[in-house]
């Protein structure tokens, strides 16, 4: 075979092989990249009581920074065929950055609890503005919960290692509620209040 | 039509080569490999373990690593995930002389020193198949904790270094590895996992628990009530349907009288426990609830001393262990804490009475950081 003929074969083979890999291969060849993408999260966490579906958002889509007093919008929709009376609580908690050597985040501190009681007619949607009246601390991870309002508000202290609790600590994660919003007041973090990355 | 057959030959060769490359790498690109059940905590002999070493945590882990690694047999391999090569050199200096085989995995990014919570090992689906590292969807507080953001990548780092023996799979759910406690039959799940996922990643508790069962391939038992901590801090399944569950009441019996008497006032700092020991009725109830639920699930429950602090995160615990089986021998690597000799002896006695050979591991410098031996070490493979 002449040199030129060999070159034609090799060049054609190379080009074909590359095209084949590009077209059929695709994706990453990194063995450990965990390229499978998790399923989409629930866009709007719902808290449901007596059939009434409640969701929470930052009022006006606001973003929050340290020192702000956040306002939230509670939307309650009653898809049932009868009126429903509901009591719910919006609770805001804060977690500080743990020490470098810490295994877990410290216990969150409750910043405020905002109870609401209302009646929603069958098929009706109501929207409430919930002012927190609480200044956001800096450099914290803030979670906003929708939960039952049947437990009295308890004070708690920031769960730092050095803090000696003066009152009884409570389990701040309310298993009878949902995390509706999550955002950070760290200076280098994305400030937009988003649907909860429930951590 | 010059070179026509040459081009055709080239195309044919190119297609063969290209298809061969695609076929050879298809299982590399696909992480949806079949996986077996979650590894049991109490069955089998150690084959491969994983540590994470961050030099800033050297003073926290040095004694623990030296005691644990120094006691491991020569047929055990320990993969040490480090942020840099220099960190691995620091690790070797910290670990001291060992018989086990140490191998580095250089991650190239920030991380913490806590290995247990980063992934759950799912055994091979078939003999000789790969192990799957099932990693959580995301890490808690990574928005404000850069090292924890780095932890999120550890499963992938290990799989990349150990391909094709190990694959990584990202879960749809939020959890810490320490939220699960598995044996050969069941996997216990702490209830704190629910609010991280209900109405976030799934719509209901039932769907979530069913999904966990499918993924972990074990019967899932959700703890209705429990201390707000990782399972390995307050319970340990030791095999033969026996469950050790911490008992603060027992812990109080081996705590100095003044520490126990002042517990609850917040005025004493026994063993640097924030707020002092917590022997309150509410805390004891949470531990008792776990014991009751395990008994209801058919386990023989054995209580063991534990001293939790009032911050609900710092524990002097004797169930945060690693268990190894070598033939008929059952070995437990058991934490001890300098300054708590009576408590240490009481914890050790429980394990010895169950027939375990105890290898003590100094965890005095780690417990103040909310974890112990079991939290620092993850198990990749058992024989």
Q: What is the pLDDT of residues A73-118, one digit of tens each?
A: 999 999 999 999 999 999 999 998 888 899 888 888 999 999 999 9
Distance from CA of B129 to the nearest CA of A (A): 15
Residues of A in contact with B164 (CB under 8 A): 31
Q: Is 80 exceeded by the pLDDT of residue A25?
A: no
Question: Which of the two residues, B53 and A19, has the higher pLDDT score?
Answer: B53
Does the interface ipTM go beyond 0.85?
A: no
- How many Å apart are CA B263 and CA B257, to the nearest integer? 10
- Residues of chain B positioned with their CB less than 8 A from the CB of A46: 199
pTM of the entire predicted model: 0.84
The neighbouring-strand residues paired with B325 are B330
Q: Higher confidence at residue B373 or residue A158?
A: B373
| Of B322, B304, B303, B325, residue with least CA distance to B372 | B322
Q: Which residues of B touch A104 (CB under 8 A)?
A: 140, 176, 229-230, 313, 370-371
Query: Distance (Å, rounded) from C-alpha B237 to C-alpha B255?
Result: 25
Of A105, A161, A178, Cβ closest to residue B140: A105
Strand order in the sheet with B120-124: B35-38, B120-124, B131-135, B166-170
Please say if the pLDDT value at position A198 is more than 50. no
C-alpha span between A118 and A116 (Å, rounded): 7
Calculate the CA A135 to chain-centre distance.
20
Contact A30 B28 (CB under 8 A): yes
Q: Which among B290, B303, B306 has a CA at the least distance from the CA of B353?
A: B303
Q: What is the pLDDT of residue A163?
A: 35
Q: For residue A193, how many C-alpha atoms fall within 13 Å in the half-sphere facing its CB?
A: 26
pLDDT score for A151: 52
Distance (Å, whole) CA A117 – CA A5: 86
Q: Which residue of B has its CA nearest to A98?
A: B145
Helical packing angle, A3-20 and B4-29, nearest 10°: 30
3-class SS shares of chain B: helix, strand, coil, % to 5: 40, 25, 35
Tokens read off for B328: 């008929």
With H, G, I as helix, E, B as strand and everything else as coil, classify residue B346. helix
A188 has a chain B CB within 8 A of its CB: no
Report the distance separating Cα B376 and Cα B188, nearest Å.
Answer: 20
For residue A199, which residues of chain B lie inside 8 Å, CB to CB?
A: 138-142, 174, 196
Q: Work out the burial of residue A169: count CB atoms within 10 Å of its CB; fewer than 13 is exposed, 13-18 middle, 19 or more buried.
A: buried
Q: Give the Å distances, CA to CA, from B223 to B191, B338, B354.
A: 6, 32, 24
Contact A16 B14 (CB under 8 A): yes
Nearest to A139 among B144, B155, B195 (CB): B144
C-beta atoms of A16 and B156 within 8 A: no
Per-residue pLDDT, A166:
30
- Determine whether the interchain pair B144/A5 forms a contact, defined as Cβ–Cβ distance below 8 Å: no
Angstrom CA distances, A143 to A13, A90, B202, stand at 58, 10, 18
A79 in helix, strand or coil?
A: coil
Residues of chain A contacting residue B222, judged by C-beta atoms under 8 Å apart: none
CA of A80 vs chain B CAs: smallest distance (Å): 19
Contact flag A100-B312 (C-beta cutoff 8 Å): no
| Residue ranges for chain B with pLDDT beneath 50 | 29-31
A 10 A CB-CB count for A154 gives 12
Q: What is the pLDDT of residue B2?
A: 72
Q: Which has the closest alpha carbon to B138: A199, A193, A141, A179?
A: A199
Residue B142: the pLDDT is: 87
Contacts of B317 in chain A (CB under 8 A): none
Cα torsion angle, B158, B160, B162, B164, sign: positive
Structure tokens at B278: 């917590």
Q: Which residues from A are below 8 Å from B161, CB to CB?
A: 32
Per-residue model confidence (pLDDT) at position B3: 77
* Residue among A14, A20, A41 whose CB faces B19 most closely: A20
Contact B201 A41 (CB under 8 A): yes
Q: Do A179 and B200 touch (CB under 8 A)?
A: yes
A155: contact with B, CB 8 A cutoff: no
Residues of chain A contacting residue B171, judged by C-beta atoms under 8 Å apart: 38
Q: Which residues of B touch A31 (CB under 8 A)?
A: 28, 159-160, 163-164, 167
User: Between chains, do B311 and A11 touch, taking CB under 8 Å as contact?
Assistant: no
Q: How far apart are CA B206 and CA A177, in angstroms?
A: 16
Residue A21, pLDDT score? 80
* Inter-residue contact B153 to B170 (CB < 8 Å): no
- B103's enclosing H/E stretch is strand B101-106
Burial class of A100 by CB neighbour count within 10 A (0 to 12, 13 to 18, 19+): middle
Helix, strand, coil percentages, rounded to 5, for chain A: 15, 35, 50
Q: Do B198 and A10 touch (CB under 8 A)?
A: no
CB spacing of B274 vs A12 below 8 angstroms: no
Average pLDDT, chain A: 80
Round to whole Å and give the CA distance between B219 and B201.
Answer: 21
Q: Does A32 touch chain B (CB under 8 A)?
A: yes
pLDDT of residue B199: 94
Name every residue whose Cβ is closer than 8 Å to that of residue B310 and which is 6 or more positions away in sequence: A165, A169, B263, B264, B266, B273, B274, B275, B276, B277, B278
Task: Give me the pLDDT at residue B264, please.
Answer: 58
């Amino acid at each position: 075979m002449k040199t030129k003929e060999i070159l034609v074969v090799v060049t054609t083979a190379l080009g074909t092989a590359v095209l084949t890999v590009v077209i059929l291969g695709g994706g990453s060849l990194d063995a450990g990249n965990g390229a499978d993408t998790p399923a989409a999260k629930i866009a709007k966490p719902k808290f449901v009581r007596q059939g009434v579906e409640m969701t929470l958002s930052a009022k006006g889509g606001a973003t929050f920074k340290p020192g702000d007093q956040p306002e939230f919008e509670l939307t309650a929709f009653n898809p049932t065929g009868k009126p429903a009376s509901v009591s719910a609580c919006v609770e805001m908690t804060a977690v500080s950055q743990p020490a470098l050597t810490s295994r877990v985040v410290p216990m969150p501190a409750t910043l405020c609890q905002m109870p609401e009681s209302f009646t929603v007619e069958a098929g009706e949607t109501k929207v409430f503005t919930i002012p927190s009246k609480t200044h956001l601390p800096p450099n914290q991870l803030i979670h906003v919960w929708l939960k039952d309002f049947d437990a009295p508000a308890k004070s708690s202290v920031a769960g730092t290692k050095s803090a000696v609790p003066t009152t009884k600590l409570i389990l701040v994660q309310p298993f009878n509620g949902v995390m509706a919003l999550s955002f950070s007041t760290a200076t280098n973090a994305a400030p937009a209040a988003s649907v909860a990355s429930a951590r | 039509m010059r070179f026509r057959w040459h081009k055709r030959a080239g195309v044919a060769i190119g297609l063969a080569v290209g298809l061969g490359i695609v076929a050879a790498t298809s299982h590399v690109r696909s992480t949806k490999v079949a996986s077996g059940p979650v590894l049991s905590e109490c069955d089998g002999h150690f084959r491969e373990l994983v540590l994470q070493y961050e030099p800033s945590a050297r003073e926290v882990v040095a004694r623990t690593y030296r005691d644990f690694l120094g006691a491991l047999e020569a047929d055990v391999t320990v993969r040490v995930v480090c942020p840099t090569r220099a960190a691995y050199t620091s690790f070797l200096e910290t670990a001291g002389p060992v018989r086990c085989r140490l191998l580095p995995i250089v991650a190239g990014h920030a991380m913490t020193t806590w290995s247990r919570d980063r992934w759950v090992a799912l055994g091979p689906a078939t003999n000789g198949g790969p192990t799957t590292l099932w990693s959580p969807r995301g890490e808690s507080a990574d928005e404000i904790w850069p090292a924890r953001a780095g932890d999120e990548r550890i499963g992938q780092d290990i799989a990349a270094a150990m391909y094709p023996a190990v694959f990584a799979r990202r879960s749809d759910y939020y959890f810490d590895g320490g939220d699960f406690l598995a044996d050969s039959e069941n996997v216990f799940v702490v209830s704190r996992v629910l609010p991280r996922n209900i109405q976030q990643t799934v719509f209901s508790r039932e769907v979530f628990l069913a999904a966990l069962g499918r993924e972990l391939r074990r019967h899932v038992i959700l703890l209705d009530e429990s201390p707000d901590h990782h399972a390995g801090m307050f319970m340990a399944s030791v095999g033969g349907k026996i469950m050790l569950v911490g008992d603060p009441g027992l812990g109080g019996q081996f705590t100095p009288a003044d520490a126990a008497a002042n517990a609850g006032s917040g005025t004493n700092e026994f063993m640097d426990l924030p707020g002092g020991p917590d022997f309150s009725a509410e805390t004891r109830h949470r531990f008792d609830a776990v014991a009751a639920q395990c008994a209801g699930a058919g386990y023989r429950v054995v209580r063991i001393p534990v001293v939790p602090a009032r911050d609900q995160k710092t524990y002097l615990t004797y169930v945060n262990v690693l268990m190894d089986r070598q033939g008929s021998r059952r070995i437990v690597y058991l934490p001890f804490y300098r300054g708590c000799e009576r408590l240490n002896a009481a914890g050790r006695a429980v394990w010895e009475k169950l027939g375990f050979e105890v290898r003590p591991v100094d965890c005095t410098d780690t417990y103040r950081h909310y974890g112990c031996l079991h939290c620092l070490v993850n198990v990749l493979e058992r024989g």
